[in-house]
Copies of this chain bind each other. A is one copy, B any other.
Amino acid sequence: MNILIIGGGGLIGQKLARALAQNGTLRGVPITQLTLADINDPAPIDAPFPVATARCDIADPASVAATVTDKIDVIYLLAAIVSSHAEEDFDAGMSINLFGTYNVLERCRILGTKPVVVFTSSIAIYGGEAVDPLGDHSYPNPQTSYGAQKAIGEILINDYTRKGFIDGRAFRLPTISVRPGKPNRAASGFMSSILREPLNGQRATCPVAADFEHYYLSPRKCIENLIKGANLDAADLGQNRVMQMPGRTWSIGQMIAAMTEVAGPGPATLIDWTPQPDVQRIVSGWRWDIHAEKAKRLGLTADDSFQDNIRHYLTDDKP
């Protein structure tokens, strides 16, 4: 089993690589090689099998051709730029999120090796005139270019699979919280930082009210689901290879109460409640009445409680 993670230097790529190193197998077969490809040098990973790192810019077909070889059995296609970045720089979003995805799929088509391709879409594909409740069969009316590019990626995954060029699977990831590390350029950044910074003993600002609701998943569960996603049997997937990944809807107030329950009353006192109308305006269009019927039927799961999300952060990620 030869695995390539494109975007292997990112949060999910690194955690996925570590989980694969621990498991040692994928799709029931021992892993013989793992390659982490990224536009930035990915951090190396300790594993009982060889792990290579490679520079790759998915926006460049030649770079993709050098990275995606006929030896690869499973590709995790995680490389992307996030919503606010793609919204500010339309060109970059199109060349990486849309054409980058296309370049990888085209390379697979030309190789003719029909690899399993696991693509990370996003709940950002929901929006606009899509009707609640949202899920596997919702109309994609995204209100960001990032969401539009992900919705197009989903359609490409389905068509390249239907044509027999790849064995694709696309998962609409919930917002990941608690996301470790430094804040990124996503407008959703506060949904992790109001927990992460206080749990690390630092102050944080909450730009929305306590009753703001959203759809979340912990990094640990996300990785579990991405591994299950590759393991799924093509015969069980039907005509639509795209599905919502399970998550849960919580309000900011519920998340903070969970933090207090797990870590005591201290962290919550480090949150400054400073309404930010520009952030509120963006996130008020985001959707949370989301259901993951197909993925649940196939055995993917969400966290049992937000207390679990907090515990996973403390166990897996707290510096």
In this assembly, does A218 line the interface, its C-beta being within 8 Å of a C-beta of chain B?
no
- B140 in contact with A155 (CB, 8 Å): yes
In whole Å, how far is A64's beta carbon from the nearest beta carbon of chain B?
16
Contacts of A131 in B (CB 8 A): 137
In whole Å, how far is A142's beta carbon from the nearest beta carbon of chain B?
7
Contacts of A269 in B (CB 8 A): none
**Of residues 91 to 130 in A, which have CB atoms within 8 Å of B's CB atoms?**
109, 127-130
- B90 in contact with A163 (CB, 8 Å): yes
Q: Which of A90, A109, A141 has the most CB of B within 10 A?
A: A141
- A155 in contact with B159 (CB, 8 Å): no
**Of residues 130 to 156 in A, which have CB atoms within 8 Å of B's CB atoms?**
130-131, 136-143, 145, 148, 151-152, 155-156
In whole Å, how far is A155's beta carbon from the nearest beta carbon of chain B?
5
Contacts of A137 in B (CB 8 A): 129-131, 139, 141
A162 to B147, CA, bound (A): 12
In this assembly, does A158 line the interface, its C-beta being within 8 Å of a C-beta of chain B?
yes
Interface size classification for chain A? 20 to 34
Residue of B143, B151, B152, B155 near A162 (CB, 8 A) is B143
- B141 in contact with A138 (CB, 8 Å): no
In whole Å, how far is A135's beta carbon from the nearest beta carbon of chain B?
9
Residue of B136, B143, B152, B158 near A239 (CB, 8 A) is B143
A259 to B206, CA, bound (A): 68
Residues on A lying within 8 angstroms of B by beta carbon are: 90, 109, 127-131, 136-143, 145, 148, 151-152, 155-156, 158-159, 162-163, 238-240
- Known A137-B139, A145-B159, A152-B152; 12 more pairs at CB < 8 Å: A90-B109, A90-B163, A128-B158, A129-B137, A129-B239, A139-B140, A140-B140, A141-B239, A142-B159, A143-B239, A151-B155, A155-B155
